[in-house]
Chain A
């Protein structure tokens, strides 16, 4: 098996079209998510460092609108 290239670990994506703006993601993982002035999600990092993975998964589960995902 080929070892994954750098940056091919879990990647976050966020969809501001469906974001409900209540900031659950920011509370769960402030190092990965922010909100713009209008309240919508802003990704601070798309590549999730290993140490942040549990918080990233938490954020995905807590998000009420399905706006964020990890793949």
Chain B
């Protein structure tokens, strides 16, 4: 399906749609083509997998407008929804995770969860996250070097944190790690994603029963004995909402931690600033989030009415993708965007998105990244990549950008 012709709003738009998604040539920069697209008057036409077309939004102000406009729909059941993976649209249309819902339905589900992630609640999790990171750093450093920073540290930290938050028992952790590696890979077919998700849902389904009987101090227990018991959400929907929280909360941190560690190692002056003044860590995490913008292409939308941007209009009925890495590297918002500068005063990046769907787990995400990096650099002051950075295998098949494997020595 093509966007309804011929309302071509973009000045200087090229005739051929760009094949999307685009691969990064450097793990620490957005795809090079984004810079040129910013000159296209705001919108670039893209051909997405499955034969559809969609608009790419690249400017910082335009991305914020496109994600906060009341006519921006996240509903995957819309035919023009610009899914990037084979199984993605069908699965999202069936399971209806709230990341792919619109208000007022979205608001109702999101409000069941936001209380779990307040600034105060997340601050209270700091000691537990520190303990997890110490344990996993000890595990990594007990291995013969070189060892894999993704599999032996970041993935173990992020799965342990998310499972503890939700109340997934430790004995199910390995199972959870296996299932999420299939469901999160863009190279997985619809059938593979379906099978992995049904395994994951089987686990959550069992936990719902267990926690109705024997509630613990965790997110699933509170949802089961609150909104589910009161009939405010169906069991099927609750399964989907727990599933998306587990998935979204695990893959993002798993990918961010190794990339952020390498990004700091490439900028020894910035790492030195942090060693001199640890109070800079909070700002450093936000700058790393901006610089890497790993959830670049997660923001898939359909315009239910015309959405006017600075230099162009997204026509009603068309799909679009508000590119977060493009916005976070817009030099009008962040001068010299390619420079990692932890002393930047502007912190309004969109690495967590913008508008009603802005990441619900962002405070936990920031905490995990900060603690995981601090513990790592403290326990392994000589940490270094064991292969040239150009040789690191990119995980470009995934919805969230990351590295497949990062061998490190110390």
Alpha-carbon gap, A20 to B110, bound state (A): 8
CB distance from B216 to the nearest CB of A (A): 19
User: Is B337 part of the contact surface with A, judged by Cβ < 8 Å?
Assistant: no
User: Is A46 part of the contact surface with B, judged by Cβ < 8 Å?
Assistant: no
- Which of B117, B353, B355 is the one whose CB lies under 8 Å from A39? B117
CB distance from B73 to the nearest CB of A (A): 16
- A-B CB contact pairs (8 Å), 27 listed: A18-B356, A20-B114, A20-B356, A20-B358, A21-B110, A21-B114, A21-B115, A22-B358, A22-B359, A26-B119, A27-B119, A27-B363, A36-B115, A37-B118, A38-B111, A38-B114, A39-B115, A39-B118, A40-B111, A58-B347, A62-B347, A62-B348, A64-B68, A64-B353, A64-B356, A64-B358, A65-B356
Chain A residues with Cβ under 8 A from B120's Cβ? 35
Chain B residues with Cβ under 8 A from A35's Cβ? 118-120
Q: Which residue of A lies closest to B120 (CB)?
A: A35
In the complex, per-residue mask of B350-364: 1 if CB is within 8 Å of any chain A CB, else 0? 001111111110110
- Which of A21, A27, A40, A65 is the one whose CB lies under 8 Å from B360? A21
User: Is A66 part of the contact surface with B, judged by Cβ < 8 Å?
Assistant: yes
- Which of A21, A26, A30, A66 is the one whose CB lies under 8 Å from B111? A21
In the complex, per-residue mask of B110-151: 1 if CB is within 8 Å of any chain A CB, else 0? 110111111110000000000000000000000000000000
**Do residues A38 and B115 form an inter-chain contact, with CB atoms below 8 A?**
yes
Q: Which of A24-50 contact B (CB under 8 A)?
A: 24, 26-27, 30, 35-40
Alpha-carbon gap, A64 to B322, bound state (A): 15
Number of inter-chain CB pairs below 8 Å: 65
Q: Which residue of B lies closest to A18 (CB)?
A: B356
**Do residues B363 and A22 form an inter-chain contact, with CB atoms below 8 A?**
yes
Q: Which residue of B lies closest to A62 (CB)?
A: B348
Q: Which residue of B lies closest to A61 (CB)?
A: B348
Interface size on B, residues (CB 8 A): 24
Alpha-carbon gap, A67 to B113, bound state (A): 18
CB distance from A63 to the nearest CB of B (A): 9
Known contacts A22-B362, A22-B363, A23-B363; A65/B355 CB under 8 A: yes
**Do residues B119 and A40 form an inter-chain contact, with CB atoms below 8 A?**
no
**Do residues A64 and B354 form an inter-chain contact, with CB atoms below 8 A?**
yes
Q: Which residue of B lies closest to A17 (CB)?
A: B107
Alpha-carbon gap, A64 to B66, bound state (A): 12
Q: Which residue of A lies closest to B122 (CB)?
A: A23
Alpha-carbon gap, A59 to B347, bound state (A): 11
Alpha-carbon gap, A24 to B286, bound state (A): 12
- Smallest CB-CB A-B distances: 6 pairs: A39-B114, A21-B114, A64-B358, A23-B119, A35-B118, A26-B119
Chain A residues with Cβ under 8 A from B352's Cβ? 22
CB distance from B360 to the nearest CB of A (A): 6
Chain A residues with Cβ under 8 A from B68's Cβ? 64-66
Chain B residues with Cβ under 8 A from A61's Cβ? 348
Chain B residues with Cβ under 8 A from A22's Cβ? 114, 117, 352, 358-360, 362-363
Alpha-carbon gap, A23 to B111, bound state (A): 13
Q: Which of A18, A26, A35 has the most CB of B within 10 A?
A: A35
Alpha-carbon gap, A55 to B119, bound state (A): 17
Q: Which residue of B lies closest to A25 (CB)?
A: B119
Q: Which residue of B lies closest to A38 (CB)?
A: B115
Alpha-carbon gap, A66 to B58, bound state (A): 21
Known contacts A23-B118, A27-B119, A66-B68; A39/B354 CB under 8 A: no
Chain B residues with Cβ under 8 A from A27's Cβ? 119, 363
**Do residues B114 and A40 form an inter-chain contact, with CB atoms below 8 A?**
yes
Alpha-carbon gap, A18 to B359, bound state (A): 15
Alpha-carbon gap, A39 to B362, bound state (A): 13
A18-B356, A37-B115 known, 5 other contacts, Cβ within 8 Å: A26-B118, A27-B119, A40-B114, A64-B358, A65-B358
CB distance from B289 to the nearest CB of A (A): 13
Alpha-carbon gap, A22 to B110, bound state (A): 10
Alpha-carbon gap, A41 to B400, bound state (A): 30
CB distance from B374 to the nearest CB of A (A): 18
CB distance from A7 to the nearest CB of B (A): 28
Chain B residues with Cβ under 8 A from A21's Cβ? 110-111, 114-115, 117-118, 360
Chain B residues with Cβ under 8 A from A40's Cβ? 111, 114
Q: Which of B113, B114, B347, B363 has the most CB of A within 10 A?
A: B114
